[in-house]
Amino acid sequence: MARTPTPRTSELDPQQLRDAVARRLRDDAEVTAGGADRAVLRRAVARALAAEGVVAAPAVWAKLVRDLVDDLGGLGPLEGLLRDPAVTEVMVNGADEVHVESDGVLRAVDARFTNDDHIVEVLGRALGPVGVRLDRAHPFADAVLPGGVRLHAILPPLADRPTVTLRRVPAVIPGWDELEDSGAVPARLRSLLVDAVSARRNLAVAGRAGVGKTTLLARLLGEVGSDRVVVIEDAPELRRPSAHTVHLRTRAANPDGVGEVDVATLLRNALRMRPDRLVVGEVRGVEVADLLQAMNTGHDGSMTTVHANGAGEAIVRLEGMALLAGVPLSAARAQVGTALDLVVGLGRDRQGRRRVTEVAEVSLGDSRATTQVVWRCAER
């Protein structure tokens, strides 16, 4: 009886092989008993390939196993992009259009999904273990994946095609020397900022998305010494920035629409936890009223970030949020003017590099908050 030739990787249809391996994984005792961490999956995929009769050189075999583990237990073709430490964000605009931000520059890359359904399949596997729903009834999702990657996804009909944005949280807070070498924080500005933290001045870090607001906030929190800091975030981006830190995190509603815990609720809880300083990862709504009140009633040295294109716009945004919380206009202006001491504005230079663009002092004048720039970056 003639022996069936052993298939080699060059002869295999990738989709057929993937489907065959996936079927074997569903019956693999180690996977079903031990979960789907990468070590378990690597062993199970190797067994499945061997059972399928696949033969390959060691380097090709290792790549095949890694690619299948990425596809069946990770984010598919995006996993390879996230292995590059220079990549800070990945953006998917459909199966055949993927971009990354690397070293401050946005560029298209060759990574591809098989089709748009493949994106949805990968998202379902990634979001299932963290308890986040994404389907036609709930076609958008925010989640933090194991390892600290923040994921946002939105599906048709809310978008033309499945659209995914991944943001990787730095594993290590950059030091002042590193920030100086990159041009983000010159030495003179470093002294100003460190002195402001030491003097327990309340400050807001302002800038548009992706300019490094959270990174700078984490660096500043590294200067608070032994103060008890209560940090409130949507996602764990400020990882133990100081010696005595308590982290509180919001919770989205469950699929039945109950169980939500928002920033405002956590702020009210934080005030009962004897904080020396309060930190809100990003203020974006009615919770600003509680934060401003806390800053005005003894919690000096508190900090937050705000999405705005400079110090002046940050003040306007904070006042607008206070109005949404039901604070009268005159009171909103007065509270912002007395609560904040500094606004640190961030942006990018012409080469796309992140940098502090200005620092403005905030004061109350003529019943409203006013700003005076005390440091400005020279144009480059």
- Tell me what pLDDT residue 251 has: 85
Give per-residue pLDDT as tens, 69-125: 777 777 888 988 988 888 889 999 999 999 999 877 889 999 999 899 999 989 988
- Rounded CA-CA distance 285/264 in Å is 9
Task: Note whether residue 360 is domain-resident.
Answer: yes
**pTM of the prediction?**
0.79
- Tell me what pLDDT residue 58 has: 74
- Tell me what pLDDT residue 347 has: 93
Output the six-digit token pair for 184: 């983000």
Domain limits at 56? 9-73
Q: Give the pLDDT of the chain (380 residues) as one tens digit per residue.
A: 444 444 555 455 667 777 777 777 777 776 666 556 677 777 778 888 888 778 777 777 777 777 777 777 778 889 889 888 888 899 999 999 999 998 778 899 999 998 999 999 899 888 887 888 898 888 999 888 877 788 999 999 999 999 999 998 776 788 999 999 988 999 999 999 999 999 999 999 999 988 889 999 999 999 999 999 999 998 778 876 778 999 999 887 776 778 889 999 999 999 999 999 999 999 999 999 999 999 998 899 999 999 999 899 999 999 999 999 999 999 999 999 999 999 999 998 888 888 999 999 999 888 788 999 999 987 65
Angle at 341 between CA 336 and CA 346, to 5 degrees: 95
- Contact in structure between 367 and 330 (CB atoms under 8 Å): yes
- Tell me what pLDDT residue 36 has: 60
- Rounded CA-CA distance 258/249 in Å is 16
β-bridge mates for residue 144, sequence order: 150
Distance, C-alpha 334 to centroid of its chain: 32
In this structure, how many other beta carbons lie within 10 angstroms of the beta carbon of residue 192? 16
What length does the chain have?
380
- Residue 62 and residue 206 in one domain: no
Torsion angle of C-alpha atoms 275, 279, 285, 290, degrees rounded to 10:
20
- Rounded CA-CA distance 26/47 in Å is 13
- Rounded CA-CA distance 239/355 in Å is 22
Give per-residue pLDDT as tens, 20-53: 777 777 777 766 665 566 777 777 788 888 887 7
- Residue 139 and residue 248 in one domain: no
- Tell me what pLDDT residue 268 has: 92
Output the six-digit token pair for 166: 């991944």
- Residue 200 and residue 255 in one domain: yes
Task: Note whether residue 159 is domain-resident.
Answer: yes
- Residue 124 and residue 183 in one domain: no
Q: How far is CA 120 from CA 91, 135, 167, 240, in A?
A: 15, 9, 18, 34
In the chain, what is the straight-line distance between the N-terminal and C-terminal CA atoms, in Å?
Answer: 76
- Residue 118 and residue 240 in one domain: no
- Residue 142 and residue 280 in one domain: no
The helix (run of H) or strand (run of E) holding residue 336 is helix 329-339
- Residue 105 and residue 235 in one domain: no
Output the six-digit token pair for 158: 């809310």
- Residue 37 and residue 146 in one domain: no
β-bridge mates for residue 100, sequence order: 90, 107
- Tell me what pLDDT residue 371 has: 92
- Tell me what pLDDT residue 11 has: 55
- Residue 82 and residue 67 in one domain: no
Task: Note whether residue 30 is domain-resident.
Answer: yes
Angle at 320 between CA 317 and CA 322, to 5 degrees: 115
- Rounded CA-CA distance 119/96 in Å is 10
- Tell me what pLDDT residue 7 has: 52
- Rounded CA-CA distance 207/215 in Å is 12
What is the CATH number for 123?
Answer: 3.30.450.90
Task: Note whether residue 324 is domain-resident.
Answer: yes
Give per-residue pLDDT as tens, 211-227: 889 999 999 999 999 99
Last-in-domain residue among 168, 203, 226: 168
- Residue 95 and residue 22 in one domain: no
Task: Note whether residue 3 is domain-resident.
Answer: no
- Tell me what pLDDT residue 173 has: 82
Q: How far is CA 161 from CA 135, 142, 339, in A?
A: 13, 17, 44
- Rounded CA-CA distance 92/100 in Å is 9
Name the domain count of the chain: 3
When the pLDDT of each residue in the chain is averaged and rounded to a whole number, the result is: 86
Last-in-domain residue among 168, 190, 209: 168
Three-class secondary structure assignment of 49-61: HHHCCCECCHHHH
Query: Where on the phi/psi map is residue 338: left (φ > 0), alpha (ψ -120 to 50), or beta?
Result: alpha
What is the CATH number for 187?
Answer: 3.40.50.300
- Contact in structure between 214 and 305 (CB atoms under 8 Å): yes
- Residue 39 and residue 18 in one domain: yes
Task: Note whether residue 190 is domain-resident.
Answer: yes
Output the six-digit token pair for 26: 């569903």
Last-in-domain residue among 143, 168, 193: 168
- Residue 331 and residue 209 in one domain: yes
In this structure, how many other beta carbons lie within 10 angstroms of the beta carbon of residue 131? 10
